[in-house]
Amino acid sequence: MAERIEVLLSEEEVERKIQELGERITEDYTGKNLHLICILKGGVFFMTELSRRITLPVTIDFMAVSSYGDGTESSGRVRIVKDLDEAIEGKDVLIVEDIIDSGRTLSNLIEMLKNRRPASIKLCTLLDKPERRVVPVEVDYVGFRIPDEFVVGYGLDYKQRYRNLPYIGAVVQE
Residues involved in catalysis? 101
Q: Is 169 in the site for ligand IMP (CB under 6 A)?
A: no
Nearer CB in complex with Mg ion: 27/111: 111
Q: Which does 153 bind (CB under 5 to 8 A by kind): Mg ion, ligand IMP, none?
A: none
Q: How far is the CB of 38 from ligand IMP (least distance, A)?
A: 12
Distance CA 89, CA 87 (A): 6
Nearer CB in complex with ligand IMP: 51/105: 105
Nearer CB in complex with ligand IMP: 75/89: 75
Q: Is 99 in the site for ligand IMP (CB under 6 A)?
A: yes
Q: Which residue of 35, 91, 104, 122 would you call a contact of ligand IMP, by CB under 6 A?
A: 104
Distance CA 8, CA 30 (A): 33
Q: Is 48 in the site for ligand IMP (CB under 6 A)?
A: no
Q: Is 100 in the site for ligand IMP (CB under 6 A)?
A: yes
Using CB under 6 A, which of the segments 3-11, 55-63, 81-89, 98-106 binds ligand IMP?
A: 98-106
Nearer CB in complex with Mg ion: 42/153: 42
Distance CA 13, CA 19 (A): 10
Residue 137 vs residues 19, 108, 124: alpha-carbon distances, Å: 24, 10, 11
Distance CA 50, CA 151 (A): 20
* Amino acid at site 81: V
Question: Site residues (CB under 6 A) for ligand IMP?
Answer: 42, 67, 97-105, 150-152, 156
